[in-house]
Amino acid sequence: MTGTFENILNLIGNTPIIRLNRIAPEGVELFAKLEAFNPMGSVKDRLALAIIEAAERDGSLKPGQTVVEATSGNTGIGLAMVCAAKGYPLVVVMSESFSVERRKLMRFFGARVILTPASEKGSGMIAKAEELARKHRWFLCSQFENEAGPDIHSRTTAEEILRDFGEKSLDYWVSGYGTGGTMKGVSRVLKAKSPSTKIIAAEPEISPLLGSGVPQIHNFDGSPAASHPAFSPHPMQGWTPDFIPQMAADVVAAGHIDEIRPVAGDAALKCAQNLANMEGIFCGISGGATFAAALEVAQNAPNGSRILAMLPDTGERYLSTQLFSEIAEEMNQEEQEISVSTPSCLFGTPTVLV
């Protein structure tokens, strides 16, 4: 984007679609939609803006009122930006299991971050946020049930995809699901306007909630009544909480998912690093997981197929996770050998002042 904008929020959306050249199998066209190009580096910037502006319109969020939400991090980071730009105090509730970088980013924007025990899982942090909202009369975003999420993806993300592919057919759209908002909002538009596009939902292999076929029990307001029996902890932060969100269940009920692809944690990590090494694309573990699913689709797709993977965020908020566990801080042997191949600026040698 170029030009002058009213504020940072005008930069949300219109993210690029990039063709992958070195990593794609022969015979297909493989693309990635890079949501890291949103101002705070993730697809959740769209959701954060949508929730706040919808609440402003209907009067449920009053001027100066505190906003509170439970999040794995990206929604909280997006909310921190939106609330800072609009002047709302923000309290974020997050499980201690999510990366330290996320806490620091939100606090840098002035948000307060309340941690919950990892043993309480995603449903525990949601319960804490609800409790705080009732106690203090704060505005609760309720991202897992809030229809502002899928609505903005129908208005923006889906329409961007259709616009960018133009007359060329899109054969497969591949995405994980967190709240289910992206999946619900995009899939319903693609099914209406590009019915030949197959919708592929990816989820962790060790936590196959949709793949289990076991329905989620929800309360009357759409919130989860209990953890799903198929849930297991997994490395894809932002993917698949310990329940099937109502919006993800809506996509299943609508029959919009053509295939569910399980993804192994090792495959997610490998694909994230391969995207960086081979394509120069920096994404997080969930992006690597989505791309792993897209690669599997590509292996069996008919020649000429066009496949689009949603890469939801940037890799910088995963520095303290296993994604970077093998990335050294100090020089390795090869780097040491390169260093000593010329005589200047070596550790352990006297400094020569010229």
Q: Is 179 annotated for ligand binding?
A: yes
Q: In a 3-state reduction of DSSP, which class is residue 222? A: coil
For residue 120, give both structure tokens. Answer: 């309480």
Annotation says 286 is catalytic: yes
For residue 346, give both structure tokens. Answer: 């070596």
Residue length, the chain? Answer: 354
The whole-angstrom separation of Cα 298 and Cα 201 is 14
The whole-angstrom separation of Cα 335 and Cα 325 is 18
Candidate list 33, 44, 184, 198, residue with the active-site label: 44
Q: Is 42 annotated for ligand binding?
A: no
Annotation says 44 is catalytic: yes
Task: State the residue for tokens 């616009």.
Answer: 163
Candidate list 42, 142, 286, 305, residue with the active-site label: 286
Beta-strand relationship, 29-34 and 306-311: parallel
Task: State the residue for tokens 């902890």.
Answer: 233
Q: Please check whether residue 171 is in contact with residue 197, taking contact to mean a CB–CB distance below 8 angstroms.
A: yes
- Can you spell out the DSSP letters for 74-105? HHHHHHHHHHHHHT--EEEEEETTS-HHHHHH
Q: What counts of helices (H) and strands (E) characterise the chain?
A: 11, 10
Q: Is 181 annotated for ligand binding?
A: yes
Q: Is 180 annotated for ligand binding?
A: yes
Q: Is 2 annotated for ligand binding?
A: no
Q: Please check whether residue 157 is in contact with residue 182, taking contact to mean a CB–CB distance below 8 angstroms.
A: yes
- Categorise residue 245: left if φ over 0, alpha if ψ from -120 to 50, beta otherwise: beta
CA 65 to chain centre: 27
Q: Is 351 annotated for ligand binding?
A: no
Q: Is 182 annotated for ligand binding?
A: yes
Binding-site residue ranges: 74, 178-182, 286
Catalytic residue numbers, as ranges = 44, 286
Show binding-site residues for pyridoxal 5'-phosphate. Answer: 74, 178-182, 286
